[in-house]
Amino acid sequence: MWTIWQSLLNRRMLICIFTGFSSGMPLYLLITLIPAWLRSEGVGLEEIGLFALIGLPYTWKFFWAPALDHYSPKFFGFNLGIRRSWMLLTQLALFIFICILGSMNPQLNLWSVAYLCTFIAFLSATQDISIDAYRRQILPDHELGLGNSIHVNAYRISGLIPGSLALILSDFLPWSTVFFITGAFMLISVGFTLIISEPSVSKKQPEALRRAIIEPFHEFFNRQPIRTAILILAFMLFYKLGDSMATALATPFYIDLGFTNTQIGLVAKHAALWPMIFGGIAGGIIMINIGINRALWIFGLIQIISILGFAILARIGEGLWLLGLVISFEYLGVGLGTAAFVAFIARTTNPAFAATQLALFTALTALPRTLFNSTAGILVDTLGWEYFFIFAHFSLCRVCFY
């Protein structure tokens, strides 16, 4: 018990809260606030839909991640350290360009808005690289589960700034002021970056950029047999496959069952968010005692069972209480499974190459979500909702027990 409280009440967990908030806020600005702003300014739905492409830097961030393992920006002659320097640089730039974005007119300069949003996504993805590496280097292995859980949940909660506060303010204030207030939250991150210390790493970062690109791959495949390394990568690729399939078309599924938008907004969204946050925190605490490997099995089993709730809901097809219960159980499993999975990814990296390896691993884990989000509709049309969720259930069974 004392070990749990020692892990909960330490400076590293506080850092994970602030870095999670800083990492999540720009992403939610792009996926929630920007579409609302564009629509309110009279931009068509087709153009708004194409704005989803501005998120490409998050998928391709591993291309420039080696530079963050090699170069260390300096500020007025001061070297804050390789991790803090990149964090500070991107946070300051995000504040500036978010403010500039709010001064633009989408109807007159839609392409300029799109380019600037893409650049903000690039800055946000770059900040994620440096923050992920920083978090990996400050957390000892036994705190990886809890620290990453706290980071992920702070990441999600940060969405309330652009997704709730900013939208409310937009009814009373001009958009330029709304974007300035939203961007100003990045200044909190700037202040925090200045007061924290640079992590110490036993192995130095590679001195040449070429080595910064090659060594992360070389180190990973030399650390264990090739077959084991390939199995680890396959596990990363498929562990969240069932979750991705089950939640890819969640809102259309609720609509097809006859639930109104108000019922979905009041019941479905809250039944998903808070159990997921609770599951993430609880999973991090549980992993302190049982370890990451055992947690992957146990939490994976919970996810296997919870997906069947959607199949039951598809068969019964009514009842708000059942909707809330099924969603709560599913997203409790999502929170638990994500906590263990993110901790596993972090533990798999070498702290000296954390930026590059984490960028590669997280990009790899995003592939199933991207692929099945685009093909889930075809599976539903072919199988129907009930058998689609049963298919997702058995897909996750095979991955977990393999």
Q: What is the CATH number of the domain that holds 195?
A: 1.20.1250.20
Q: Picking from 51-55, 178-182, 301-305, which range would have the lowest pLDDT averaged per residue?
A: 51-55
Residues 57 and 89 in one domain: yes
User: What are 222-262's pLDDT values in tens digits?
Assistant: 888 888 888 888 888 777 776 666 666 666 677 677 777 66
Can you give the pLDDT at residue 246? 67
Residues 39 and 165 in one domain: yes
Helix (H), strand (E) at residue 65: helix 65-70
Residue 207 counted as domain residue: no
Q: How confident is the model at residue 116 (pLDDT cuts 50, 70, 90)?
A: very high
| Residue 304 reports pLDDT greater than 60 | yes
Residues 286 and 339 in one domain: yes
CA–CA separation, 242 and 368 (whole Å): 9
> Which of 140, 167, 200 finishes a domain?
200
Can you give the pLDDT at residue 66? 82
Can you give the pLDDT at residue 2? 45
Residues 224 and 185 in one domain: no
> Which of 200, 234, 250 finishes a domain?
200
> Which of 170, 200, 230 finishes a domain?
200
Residue 206 counted as domain residue: no
Can you give the pLDDT at residue 307? 78
Residues 190 and 222 in one domain: no
Q: How confident is the model at residue 99 (pLDDT cuts 50, 70, 90)?
A: very high
Residue 205 counted as domain residue: no
Q: How confident is the model at residue 137 (pLDDT cuts 50, 70, 90)?
A: confident
Residue 130 counted as domain residue: yes
Mean pLDDT of 74-83: 73
Residues 217 and 187 in one domain: no
Mean pLDDT of 80-93: 88
Stronger pLDDT, 185 or 148, i.e. the higher one: 185
Residues 183 and 217 in one domain: no
| Residue 132 reports pLDDT greater than 80 | yes
Residue type, 55: G
User: What are 319-328's pLDDT values in tens digits?
Assistant: 788 888 888 8
Name the 3-class secondary structure at 75. strand
Mean pLDDT of the chain: 79
Q: How confident is the model at residue 124 (pLDDT cuts 50, 70, 90)?
A: very high
**Percentage, residues of the chain above pLDDT 90:** 9
Residues 105 and 222 in one domain: no
Residues 193 and 264 in one domain: no
Residues 186 and 226 in one domain: no
Residue 43 counted as domain residue: yes
Which of 120-124, 264-268, 284-288, 350-354 ranks highest by mean pLDDT? Answer: 120-124
pTM of the model: 0.72
Query: What is the residue range of 152's domain?
Result: 2-200
User: What are 10-24's pLDDT values in tens digits?
Assistant: 788 888 888 899 988
* Cβ 295 vs Cβ 287: under 8 Å: yes
Residue 256 counted as domain residue: yes
* Cβ 364 vs Cβ 236: under 8 Å: yes
Long-range CB contacts (within 8 A, 24+) of 202-205: 202/351, 202/352, 203/350, 203/351, 203/352, 204/352, 205/69, 205/70, 205/82, 205/352, 205/353
| Residue 141 reports pLDDT greater than 80 | no
Residues 376 and 279 in one domain: yes
Residues 277 and 329 in one domain: yes
Residue 27, classified by CB atoms within 10 Å of its CB into exposed (0-12), middle (13-18) or buried (19+), is: buried
What is the count of structural domains for the chain?
2
Q: How confident is the model at residue 94 (pLDDT cuts 50, 70, 90)?
A: very high
